[in-house]
């Protein structure tokens, strides 16, 4: 195995080797819980590095696709076993890089292992249908072929699960991959790729290039030899990638932001609803695309819900996410912290009432990191910025409504449609919610976050390019269907 790190600078993985960038520039990866102890350094790679990675992936394409799905799946099984051996180290690295608590990072790493195993099995499943032809002497069937080279562009908030839920299906369905991780969590990404390397994937089948989104990410989207781009991240970046891919006829898949509501109906179990709201809104410091951001509460239950929510949120322990007793870690970066504080200030200025939190924590150990209190606003109206825009931090807006119809109208009154949940014991109500709510993930008596790897995941409206990731649905993006007509 070639070394992936020299003088503590993590390198690119291109054509089966850890390679130094043509650029001398590096990016320091910080620990948002304690900026005085950097996690390491990565390379700020160049267009030439990307070119080498795409060429390697292109050269490996024909041989990789010629293997059976089962044989490709075996490589994924091996990667899963190696990730399992290194799970603790990789979870710790993720925690250090982006600040989610260690138990959350461990859970995410276990999810990564399960995703690898799921797609390893996909290599044995069906790839087409027989369709009766109108010609009695002909045989007609469909089959699926890989796209070719796939560019994977990932965010920092699920540094293990998201890259794996893109790369595993890409690979098992016969594509080769060039992966550009978010710089904030590139060392976690590199450790995942080490697992793939140790699993013995042929040279060039999987490649990783670190660096700026505006160079490596954009370069992938523009590259004529990249036939598919799968992106998860912010709306602004996603839209640019979609337009670029569309222009040159590449297939693309975008999973982007959310402004996810939870409806607390008059008949909700308050204890259950409060616990789920806190978990949905504040776990991972509110930095899940599925995080609860708007809490829409029926008037008759509002005061009781509000009181319990405040009481339980006050118990949250905030600190360095590696410490066992900590429930809420830091925000992932200085930029995200400033973004979150900006939205808190905007909420105050536009007349929402701050009823808990709202402050950056800077005393003692907090001084070294990017900490903000869990924050609750009330008297929020749907036209306010804090009710419309994704904040991506531990901030929620309480919105009081008078009826179930109004609750769903308010819930739908945003440009996003990723996930949504309702607390109710009434079957009719949850069926109506499931039918009328404009979101790709509907959860009933459960928090808005929580994605299952075997089920389709993706958003409606501006949360997505309307394709679905995960489960069997991934096949739709990572393959093209061919219809074959055979005349006897």
Ligand X SMILES: O=CCCC(=O)C(=O)O
Which residues participate in catalysis according to the annotation?
Answer: 255
With beta carbons less than 8 A apart as the criterion, state whether 23 and 44 touch: yes
Closest CA to 133 of 415, 485, 372, 488: 485
Residues that bind ligand NAD (CB under 6 A): 153-158, 180, 182, 213-214, 217-218, 221, 232-234, 237, 240-241, 255-258, 289, 390, 392, 418, 459, 463
User: Residue 96 Cβ, how far from ligand NAD at the closest point, in Å?
Assistant: 17
Give the DSSP H or E segment for 98.
helix 87-98
Among residues 44, 45, 157, 207, the one that binds ligand X under rule CB under 6 A: 157
Considering only 41-49, 61-69, 86-94, 443-451, which stretch makes contact with ligand X by CB under 6 A?
A: 443-451
Residue 289 found at the interface with ligand X (CB under 6 A)? yes
Binding partner selected for residue 393 from ligand NAD, ligand X, none, CB under the kind-specific 5 to 8 Å limit: none
Q: How many residues bind ligand X (CB under 6 A)?
A: 9
Q: Which does 46 bind (CB under 5 to 8 A by kind): ligand X, ligand NAD, none?
A: none
Which of residues 281 and 309 has its CB atom nearest to ligand NAD in the complex? 281
Three-class HEC string of 47-104: HHHHHHHHHHHHHHHHHHHHCCHHHHHHHHHHHHHHHHHCHHHHHHHHHHHHCCCHHH
Contacts of 194 (CB under 8 A, 6+ apart): 1, 4, 86
Q: How far apart, in whole angstroms, are the C-alpha atoms of residue 125 and residue 121?
A: 7
Separation between Cα atoms, residue 99 and residue 112, nearest integer Å: 18
In contact, 421 and 276? CB cutoff 8 Å: yes
Pick one of ligand X, ligand NAD, none as the site partner of residue 234 (Cβ within 5 to 8 A by kind).
ligand NAD
∠ CA 34-40-42, nearest 5°, is: 130
Among 117, 288, 294, 468, contact with ligand X (rule: CB under 6 A): 288
- In angstroms, the CA 452 to CA 486 distance is 40
Can you tell me the distance from the alpha carbon of 72 to that of 123, in angstroms, rounded to the nearest whole number? 7
Of 339, 351, 355, 145, nearest to 251 by C-alpha is: 145
By CB under 6 A, name the one of 175, 290, 375, 421 that touches ligand X.
290
Which entry of ligand NAD, ligand X, none binds 156, CB below 5 to 8 A by partner kind? ligand NAD
Q: How far apart are CA 416 and CA 414, in angstroms?
A: 5
Among the listed ranges 68-76, 195-203, 222-230, 446-454, the one in contact with ligand X (CB under 6 A) is 446-454
For the bound state, the minimum distance from the C-beta of residue 296 to ligand NAD, rounded and expressed in Å, comes to 20
Question: Within 10 Å of residue 27's Cβ, how many Cβ atoms?
Answer: 19
Using the minimum distance from each CB to ligand NAD, give the nearer residue, 259 or 429: 259
Tell me which of ligand NAD, ligand X, none is bound by residue 450, counting a contact when its beta carbon lies within the kind-specific cut-off of 5 to 8 angstroms.
Answer: ligand X
Return the number of the residue (256 or 396) whose C-beta is nearest ligand NAD: 256
Which does residue 390 bind out of ligand NAD, ligand X, none, counting CB within 5 to 8 angstroms by kind? Answer: ligand NAD
CB-wise, 237 or 326, nearer to ligand NAD? Answer: 237
Least distance in Å: CB of 255 to ligand X?
A: 8
449 binds, among ligand X, ligand NAD, none (CB under 5 to 8 A by kind): ligand X
| Selected binder of ligand X within 103, 128, 240, 450 (CB under 6 A) | 450
- Give the span between the Cα atoms of 18 and 9, in whole angstroms: 11
Cβ–Cβ under 8 Å, residues 296 and 68: no
The dihedral over CA atoms of 458, 463, 464, 466, expressed in degrees to the nearest 10, equals: 70
The DSSP bridge pattern shows strands 371-372 and 375-378 to be unpaired
Strand partners, 40: 29
* Residue partners of 121: CB distance under 8 A and separation at least 6: 73
Stretch that binds ligand X, among 10-18, 132-140, 315-323, 445-453 (CB under 6 A): 445-453
Q: Closest CB to ligand X among 107 and 121?
A: 107
Nearer to ligand X, 21 or 470 (CB): 470
Binding residues for ligand X, rule: CB under 6 A, are 157-158, 161, 288-290, 449-451
């Amino acid at each position: 195995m070639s070394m992936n790190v020299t003088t503590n600078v993590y390198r690119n993985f291109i054509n089966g080797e850890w390679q130094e960038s043509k650029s001398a520039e590096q990016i320091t990866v910080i620990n948002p819980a304690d900026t005085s102890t950097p996690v390491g350094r990565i390379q700020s790679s160049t267009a030439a590095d990307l070119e080498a990675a795409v060429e390697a992936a292109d050269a490996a394409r024909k041989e990789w696709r010629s293997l059976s799905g089962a044989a490709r799946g075996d490589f994924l099984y091996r990667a899963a076993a190696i990730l399992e051996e290194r799970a603790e180290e990789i979870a710790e690295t993720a925690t250090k890089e982006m600040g989610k608590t260690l138990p959350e990072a461990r859970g995410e790493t276990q999810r990564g292992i399960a995703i690898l195993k799921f797609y390893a099995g996909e290599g044995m499943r069906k790839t087409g249908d027989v369709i009766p032809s109108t010609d009695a002497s002909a045989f007609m069937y469909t089959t699926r072929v890989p796209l070719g080279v796939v560019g994977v562009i990932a965010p920092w908030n699920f540094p293990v699960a998201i890259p794996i839920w893109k790369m595993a299906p890409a690979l098992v369905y016969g594509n080769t991959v060039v992966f550009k991780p978010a710089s904030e969590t590139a060392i976690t990404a590199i450790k995942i790729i080490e697992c793939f390397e140790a699993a013995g994937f042929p040279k060039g089948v999987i490649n990783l290039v670190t660096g700026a989104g505006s160079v490596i990410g954009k370069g992938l989207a523009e590259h004529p030899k990249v036939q598919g781009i799968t992106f998860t991240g912010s709306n602004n970046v996603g839209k640019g990638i979609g337009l670029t891919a569309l222009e040159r006829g590449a297939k693309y898949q975008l999973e982007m932001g959310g402004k996810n509501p939870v409806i607390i109906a008059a008949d909700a179990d308050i204890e259950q609803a409060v616990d789920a709201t806190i978990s949905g809104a504040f776990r991972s410091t509110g930095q899940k695309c599925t995080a609860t951001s708007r809490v829409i509460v029926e008037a008759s239950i509002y005061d009781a819900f509000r009181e319990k929510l405040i009481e339980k949120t006050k118990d949250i322990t905030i600190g360095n996410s590696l410490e066992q007793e900590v429930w809420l870690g830091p925000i992932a970066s200085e930029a995200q912290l400033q973004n979150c504080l900006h939205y808190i200030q905007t909420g105050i200025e536009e007349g929402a009432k701050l009823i808990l939190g709202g402050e950056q924590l800077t005393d003692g150990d907090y001084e070294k990191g990017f900490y903000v209190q869990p924050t609750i606003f009330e008297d929020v109206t749907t036209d306010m910025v804090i009710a419309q825009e994704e904040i991506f931090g531990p901030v929620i807006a309480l919105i009081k409504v008078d009826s179930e119809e109004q609750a769903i109208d308010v819930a739908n009154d945003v440009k996003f449609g990723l996930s949504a949940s309702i607390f109710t014991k009434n079957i009719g109500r949850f069926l109506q919610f499931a039918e009328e709510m404009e979101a790709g993930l509907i959860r009933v008596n459960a928090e808005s976050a929580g994605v299952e790897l075997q089920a389709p995941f993706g958003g409606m409206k501006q949360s997505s390019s309307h394709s679905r990731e995960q489960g069997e649905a991934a096949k739709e993006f990572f393959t093209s269907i061919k219809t074959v007509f055979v005349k006897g």
